[in-house]
Chains A and B, each alone.
Chain A
Amino acid sequence: MATVTYEKATRVYPGAERPAVDALHLEIACGEFLVLVGPSGCGKSTSLRMLAGLEDVDDGAIHIGDHDVTHLPPKDRDIAMVFQNYALYPHMSVADNMGFALKIAGVSKEERRRRVAEAAALLDLEPYLDRKPKALSGGQRQRVAMGRAIVREPRVFLMDEPLSNLDAKLRVQTRTQIAALQRRLAITTVYVTHDQVEAMTMGDRVAVMKDGKLQQCAAPRELYDRPANVFVAGFIGSPAMNLTEVAVDEDGARVAGTRVPLGRAAVRAIAAEGGSRATLGFRPESLEPVGSADGGFAVLVDVVEELGADAFCYGRLENGADVIAKVDARVPPRKGERLHFRIRPGETHLFSAKTGDRH
Chain B
Amino acid sequence: MIGVTVVIVFCLAPFYWMVVSSFRRTSDIFDKSALPSPWSLENYTAVFDPDQGFLRSMANSLVVAGTTTALALVIATLTAYAMARLDFPFKRLVLTGIIATSMFPVVSIVVPLLKLFTDWDWINTYQAMVAPSLSFALPLAVWILTAFFRQIPIELEQAAMIDGCTQGQAFRRIVLPLAAPGVFTTAIITFVAAWNEFLIALSMTNDAAMQTAPVAISKFTGASQFETPFGSQMAAGVLVTIPLVVLVVVFQRRIVDGLTAGAVK
Contact = CB atoms under 8 A, between A and B. Distances in A.
A136 to B, nearest CB: 7
Contacts of B262: 88, 90, 132-136, 141
Task: For chain B, give the interface size range.
Answer: 20 to 34
Chain B binding surface SS class: loop
Nearest to A88: B263
Contacts of B118: none
A291 to B, nearest CB: 55
B177 A75 contact: no
B169 interface: yes
Contacts of A74: 158, 161-162
Interface in A71-128: 73-75, 77, 79-81, 83, 85-91, 100-101, 104-105
B260 interface: yes
Given A80-B162, A91-B259, A86 B264 contact: yes
A199 B263 CA distance: 27
A73 B155 contact: no
B241 interface: no
Contacts of A53: 161-162
Contacts of A332: none
Interface string B137-153: 00000000000000001
Nearest to B166: A75
B51 interface: no
A142 to B, nearest CB: 10
A54 interface: yes
Nearest to B178: A91
Contacts of A79: 162
A62 to B, nearest CB: 15
Interface string B146-178: 000000010110111111111001000010011
A174 to B, nearest CB: 15
B265 A85 contact: yes
A159 to B, nearest CB: 12
B261 interface: yes
Nearest to A141: B262
A81 B162 contact: yes
A165 interface: yes
B260 A87 contact: no
Contacts of A52: 158, 162
Q: Which of B153, B162, B164, B178 has the most CB of A within 10 A?
A: B162
Contact of B177 (A73, A77, A91): A91
A44 interface: no
A54 to B, nearest CB: 5
Given A75-B165, A104-B165, A87 B159 contact: yes
Given A134-B261, A138-B265, A141-B262, A87 B161 contact: no
A80 B159 CA distance: 9
Q: Which of B261, B262, B263 has the most CB of A within 10 A?
A: B262
Contact of A100 (B163, B178, B265): B163
A54 B265 CA distance: 20
Contact of A101 (B158, B164, B263, B265): B164
A79 B264 CA distance: 20
Q: When A and B form their complex, which 7 residue pairs have the shortest distance between CB atoms, in order from nearest?
A: A134-B262, A133-B262, A85-B264, A101-B163, A87-B155, A87-B159, A90-B263
7 contacts: A52-B158, A53-B162, A75-B163, A86-B263, A87-B156, A87-B264, A89-B156
